[in-house]
Every structure is written in C-alpha cells, then in structure tokens.
Chain A
Amino acid sequence: MDKALPELDPVIHAQARLRVVAALNVLGEGDEMAFNSLKDLLGMTAGNLSVHLTKLEEAGYVAINKTHRGRTPVTFVALTRRGRLAFEDYTRAIRTLLDNAGGV
C-alpha cells in the first residue's frame, strides 16, 4: 500500500532516522547517549549510524558532542529542542493520517 504523505518531515521519515530519533526522544532533556551505546541499541554499523546522524545534525535535530573519558574519546548524541518538537509534530501528523484513514 503506497500512501502519499507529503506533509511528513522527510528528514525523520526514513525508517533508520525515525528509529534514531524515537530512541533519543526517550532520554530526558539535558541527557546524552554514548554513540557506541546508540549503535548497539539500534543494531546499526558505526558508518551507517554516522551517515544518519550527520543528516539529522544538518537539520538541527541532534547535537553531537565529542569528548574524552579518561584518555578514551567518546561521542555523545542528544536530541535538540528543535528535534524533539519535529518528532512531536511528526508523530502527531502520523496519528492524524491514521485517524483520517480510519486506521489503528
């Protein structure tokens, strides 16, 4: 079934990025998740996750902070306020679409 969804945010709509944003949205505001942990949680390769995070960062939806724990470099990822609002709008749009279609 191919439904036209012109009003949905194309940055979030790709399934891999949708999963990234849905996972980061679970964190409280002011919290960041380690890149490697996010990679393990989503079952993605580092390269694949990096590509999607770059797209999300370019849209201003995620913030990426590179730092060190002791001498080990660690990258942390968080949803920005703009990203959180975009995800809320996206989820609302999906529910409206389903309601209008008489779906679940």
Chain B
Amino acid sequence: MDDERAPSPEETLRVIEEQSAATTRWLYGDPLLLYVPWGVAWVLGFTALFLHYGLDGRSYAPISQMQAVGVLMAAQLLAGGIAALGFVRLNKVLRGDSNARGTMFGYAWFAGFALMTVLCNRITPHLPPQESGLLWAGSSLMLVAALQMAGGAVFLNWPMFFFGAYVGAVNALGVLLGAGWHALLTAVLLGGGFIAVGVVLRRCS
C-alpha cells in the first residue's frame, strides 16, 4: 500500500508542514472571508457617513445620515452573516474547549452590542445629530477594539490583539477630531486596514 511506504526526511517534513497548513485553512477558513467583508462594509458605510458629514460641517454629497447609516448596517449584516456561517461550520467539525471559548466569545459580542445599543439609545435624544452619530460609531468601534484584543488574548492570536489595539487608537483619534474625520479615518484606515489584513493573512497562510 502506497501510504505505508517510508518517506524520506525531506518529504516527511514537507508532508507535516503541508498537512498542518491545510488543516488550519480548512478549520478556520479563508482569512479573506473573515476580514475583507468587514473591510468593505466599513469602507462603504463610513465613506457614506463621511460624505454626509464633510470635514467642515457641510455635506459633500446629498446623502442623509439615515441613508449612510443604512448602507453601513446593511453591509455589516452581510459581513456578520458570512462570519456566522464560518462559526456554524466550525461547530459541526469540532467539539471541546475551543468551541466553548468561541461560544462564550460570541455571547460577549452580542451582550456588548446589546448594552451599547441601550446606552446610545438613551443618550441620543440629548445630543445634536453629528454628536449622536459619533457616539454610536465611536462606542461600537471601542467595543470592536476591546473584544478583538480580548479575543487575541483568549486565542493567543497576536495579530488579532494588535489589530484590536490599532482599531482602538484610530477610533480614539477620530472621536477627538469629530464626526467627519472619524468617518474618514475609519473608512480609510480601518476599512482599508481590514482588507489589507485579510490579504496579508491569506498570503501568509
């Protein structure tokens, strides 16, 4: 039988490396599918918000705040759906500690965004439209940053941890500069950043 023959050390090492890489790709999916949809969602959504806000308080395009938020939400729902499909598949393939960690991590995202929605809904009526938009965008990105860093810590994934820190830094800078700048920086540096991370991780794998 062919698979019972003794391979050479070079061939053996190549088999180990190829099988390990193939298994990682097969289990955790294509990084392009995990990062790029979020990147595209943020590029589209925050560009629409940027065009609405402008940098000097005047809109660059006839897009209402609700229309821009609608673009962002629709694109994020699509990206979230693609990510959820990956988690559902992984749940069928594996059982054990990683699944338990992933499930708890998923609930943490859900609970965080639910709490953020309650908080922002409560405060929004007391703020001017630009500031309320900044509150929603800034707090949701804060949550993304903190959970990415926590996820990196739980799964011992340094790229995830550092990317969370990067999201936090860009978000803080944008909040300090105002709604228009926040939307611009998020679209370019975070939306573009997610796309770049997906492409780089794909090449590395």
Binding site for B on A (CB under 8 A): 1, 3, 5, 13-16, 18-19, 22-23, 25-34, 37, 41, 48, 76, 78, 91, 94-95, 97-98, 101, 103-104
Answer yes or no: B122 CB below 8 A from chain A CBs.
no
Query: Whose C-beta in chain A lies nearest to the C-beta of B93?
Result: A37
Answer yes or no: B108 CB below 8 A from chain A CBs.
no
Smallest beta-carbon distance A13→chain B, Å:
6
Which B residues are in CB contact (< 8 Å) with A25? 20
A-B contact count (CB 8 A): 93
B9 near A103 with CB under 8 A, answer: yes
B9 near A94 with CB under 8 A, answer: yes
Which A residues are in CB contact (< 8 Å) with B16? 18, 22, 91, 94
Which A residues are in CB contact (< 8 Å) with B96? 27-28, 30-32, 78
A23 near B13 with CB under 8 A, answer: no
Given A22-B16, A28-B98, A30-B96, are A15 and B7 neighbors across the interface (CB < 8 Å)? yes
Which 8 residue pairs spanning A and B have beta carbons closest together? Answer: A30-B97, A16-B3, A31-B96, A22-B19, A26-B23, A37-B93, A23-B23, A97-B9
Main secondary structure of the interface of B (DSSP, over half): helix
A5 near B22 with CB under 8 A, answer: no
A27–B4 CA distance with the chains assembled, in angstroms: 25
Supplied contacts A27-B27, A98-B9, 11 more A-B pairs, CB within 8 Å: A1-B8, A14-B3, A22-B15, A26-B20, A30-B98, A31-B98, A31-B99, A37-B92, A41-B22, A94-B9, A95-B13
Answer yes or no: B10 CB below 8 A from chain A CBs.
yes
Which B residues are in CB contact (< 8 Å) with A29? 97
Answer yes or no: B6 CB below 8 A from chain A CBs.
yes
B15 near A31 with CB under 8 A, answer: no
Query: Whose C-beta in chain B lies nearest to the C-beta of A38?
Result: B93
Q: Which of B14-31 contact A (CB under 8 A)?
A: 15-16, 19-20, 22-24, 26-27
Which A residues are in CB contact (< 8 Å) with B92? 34, 37
15 A-B residue pairings within 8 Å (CB atoms): A3-B9, A14-B6, A15-B7, A23-B22, A26-B24, A31-B99, A32-B94, A32-B95, A37-B93, A41-B22, A41-B26, A91-B13, A94-B16, A103-B10, A104-B10
A97–B8 CA distance with the chains assembled, in angstroms: 10
B15 near A34 with CB under 8 A, answer: no
Which B residues are in CB contact (< 8 Å) with A78? 96
Q: Which of B73-123 contact A (CB under 8 A)?
A: 92-99
B24 near A15 with CB under 8 A, answer: no
A104–B17 CA distance with the chains assembled, in angstroms: 13
Q: Which of B97-153 contact A (CB under 8 A)?
A: 97-99
